[in-house]
Structure 1
Amino acid sequence: MSTMINMVRSLAAVAALAIATPALAAGAKVEIDYQNWSFAGPFGYYDRGQLQRGFKVFQENCSACHALSRVAFRNLAEDGGPGFTEDQAKVIAADYIVEDGPDDFGDMFERPAILADRFPSPFPNEQAARASNNGAYPPDFSLLAKARAPQRGFPNFVFDIFTQYQENGPDYIYSLLTGYEEPPEGMEVPDGQYYNHSFLAGQFISMAPPLYEDSIEYTDGTPMTVENYARDVAAFMMWAAEPHLEDRKKIGFRVMIFLIVFAGMLYFTKKKLWRNVEH
């Protein structure tokens, strides 16, 4: 009897925690501006032009502070990626300097990056990064679109199972990049920080507004607005975090078709085998 009571208590505690955690997240004053992404839904795919524009935003505006340490230059030319050719990826890699070695004398040396290398960090270590950013540590962009996805809370996460909504990470990044504004009247912003109504860790963020109108040149005719910059770099970060998204969705669709056909075959096989047996 005592064992049964303990099991009930444990289940109740787990249920309470599961309900309380989303409730706390839902109570936070975070404004999310939901976007329509090409990679959303079971048939989603990456927009190659958007990924290339997003890479341009990262390279010209974000790479001075943020690393992309889990992405190799060769990934830019792989299937499912931004659609660069191998020669274009080589040119991009050659603009970066990486540390290699040791050489025959045991010394480390620097050389231009090649396709096999990963994007080098702009700082040698975390302490140097914090020293250059007033104590704040710029996060690595590689997995940020997955790692910073805010909890949706109850009952939204239940609906997400049926709507297959998984884009809360890119939605949050877009909202954060476009969420800078003047603070409400009477609110004092600490020195070295900025007001952002979409920042998960509070309304004050150490990063200055990174995007401005017409600051990055688009050559494909896309309007050079903060909203487009934010949307494109968020899509690029989603690809960096999940480069095989298209393959995953294609395989998932094929598996569902197989399971439906297989279930039908099992049903008719059962009907045939048991047709002469009285029930």
Structure 2
Amino acid sequence: MRIDVLSLFPSMFTGVFEQSIIGKAQERHLLDIEVTDFRAYSDDVKHHTVDDYPYGGGEGMLLKPQPIFAAMADLEQKQPGPKRVILLDPAGKKFDQSVAADLSASDHLVFICGHYEGYDERIRHLVTDEISLGDYVLTGGELGAMVVIDTTVRLLPGVLGNESSADNDSFSDGLLEHPQYTRPADFNGMQVPPVLTNGNHQLIAQWQEKESLRRTYLRRPDLLQKVTLTEQQQKLLAEVKTEEDAK
């Protein structure tokens, strides 16, 4: 996958993209990322202005269309072909694991990171996807782009050391992930559930599925309205509800 980011603050991405999973993916040539300062494309040769006051009045400044259009034209010339162009915007589709999975199937993603009060509306003509992290406003689109990129990249084949790791993540099947434990089995009197140490993989899998349902039921019951549970899962969820009601 190739990822291009258009930002006024490219140095914000340096540490994030050079470390951990994203850094290793680039070292292994599974991922190619380039961050471009679109201020360099401003037609204001003297001051490199990229923003201006909104027509009709209002607070704050808006990103001008010219630098973004020029940066995109240059990118298209250097990297022709289909692209998903993503605008980080509070009005966009709320980001979740299913959106990340959809993006991970693309060969080339472009992120436009805004600042100031907002965008000139004409910038949206360049965009294929508008994404929001949630119902709040960040200072700029850089942090949002980092989150979307990190979530998407880890779904690419070969990026994670264990190919099944992403399959077991929270939200991968619409539910929260079950509790997990490592050694020691007894830490300050807190015991690992015995079922996890008995070696019976069938019982372990059933326990994990039930505890995934329990955690989702207790912490994010709204998610249960969005998934289709199997007959076995419905039975386990009924047991969970009975157990929790008895507490």
Range into which the TM-score falls when normalised by the shorter chain: under 0.3
**Greater strand content:** 2
TM-score (norm 1): 0.22
Structure number with bigger Rg = 1
Q: Comparing both chains, which one has the higher relative contact order based on Cα–Cα distances under 8 Å and sequence gaps of 6 or more?
A: 1
